[in-house]
Amino acid sequence: MLYIIGLGLGDERDITLKGLDAIKKCSKVYIEAYTSLLSFGISTNGVSTLESLYGKPVTVADREMVEEKSDDILLEARDSDVAFLVVGDPFGATTHSDLVVRAKKLEVGVKVIHNASVMNAIGVCGLQLYRYGETVSIPFFTETWRPDSFYEKIQKNRALGLHTLCLLDIRVKEPTLESLCRGKKQYEPPRYMSINTAIEQLLEVEQIRGGSAYMEDSTCVGLARLGSEDQMVVAGSMKQLLMVDFGPPLHCLVIVGKTHPVEEEMLDFYTVAGNPDQSKE
């Protein structure tokens, strides 16, 4: 059996009892280490923390292992119970759906154990989950690559009065361009997009597109380290949030659509002083 187990968003204690029971009976435990991040990181110390709780070794599975060598993991699961740990919920990233498809093609049994993810924890800011439109991802811009396909999705959400959750880029174990040219992989240091960088890029795209999907006075909510003891939630205009230090990763951003009075009351708890009123129903 392959157990795909959500770890939640905070630290090692966020795992469910059902997930912990499954891990304890597995002969091999992998943790996926590139779509998200626990509060203590997926470093040597972080893995040691998990190993102490589980009482067994944990193997870090990077992007290459999961996307190129997943069949090796699945073949192990044919003969024994294998745990594949995912920060957040197992289906918070499409890679994990692909793993299930591969497992079923190999006739490997799969059991999924769910947990909290950014997709539901985002509700802490008070914006109601059923009033969100399509979620978008904001990638890091480079000098030669500045993709903006997210713009139309935000514009459509805003036209419908819906909120937009922006998931911000994570760059872990990315090969350098120079090393790819040489044929010997060397990796860039990990990078995690901040709310500030995301807003700068969003405003750059708006200036180029000129479609009035949002502007520097548009109300947003910046959220950092959701689910952790030191999580941070700040509401304000894009311009105001640019001035806020949100601290360590992970960050995400919500562009606010039309709001219900109950949502407005909740947002007031997090609003920067002097923020212009958000659009109301």
- Asked if residues 276 and 264 have their Cβ atoms less than 8 Å apart, the reply is no
Q: 186: which 2 tokens?
A: 């060397």
Q: How many CA atoms lie within 13 A of 77 on its CB side?
A: 25
Give the 3-state secondary structure of residue 6.
strand
Residue type at 134? E
Residues paired with 5 in a beta bridge: 85, 113
Residue 83 to residue 81: CA distance in whole angstroms: 7
| Ramachandran quadrant class, 225 (left: phi over 0; alpha: psi -120 to 50; beta: rest) | left
Residues placed in the known binding site: 9, 89, 92, 117-118, 168, 226, 251
Distance from C-alpha of 205 to C-alpha of 199, rounded to nearest angstrom: 10
3-state secondary structure of 237: strand
Residues annotated in a binding site for S-adenosyl-L-methionine: 9, 89, 92, 117-118, 168, 226, 251
